[in-house]
Amino acid sequence: MSFKVKTLIVLFAFVGLIVAQNYYQQPQHHEEEHGPVHYEFHYDIHDDHTGDVHGRKEERKDDHTQGEYYLIDADGYKRTVTYQVDGKSGFIAQVHREPIKGYQAPQPHKVLAVPVQKHFYHH
């Protein structure tokens, strides 16, 4: 091999070594980058037939989430839970219960049983 070819091979090997060294010394980030996060939702359920009463609302913007949900417990108390999550602080919730004046638990609906008669006809 000529001197120029040997010099180019050594030079490329040296450049490759420097590039590889820099690549492995830098922290590698494999997390996907997403844009800002923002959403809101809410719903309320009030079913007179089953007595199911509950609802929820929540809002999130980036790392901050706050919300509230409620339901009617079987003992006639309304339970409301407010919560928030802010960055790395974790889930923080407060629970409040209050009796509902005049609350009457839904009564099960009576199902009428109709006797089934089986007739067998022989010819």
Q: In this predicted model, what pLDDT tens digit does every residue of 34-78 receive, in sequence order?
A: 778 899 999 999 998 888 899 999 999 988 999 999 999 988 899
Those residues with Cβ within 8 angstroms of residue 114's Cβ, 6 or more apart along the chain or in another chain: none
Whether pLDDT at 6 is above 60: no
Closest-CA residue to 106 (of 77, 74, 83): 74
Those residues with Cβ within 8 angstroms of residue 107's Cβ, 6 or more apart along the chain or in another chain: none
Report the pLDDT averaged over residues 69-95. Answer: 92
One-letter amino acid of 41: F
Three-state secondary-structure class, residue 67: strand
Instruction: Please state, rounded to an integer, the average pLDDT across all residues of the chain.
Output: 79
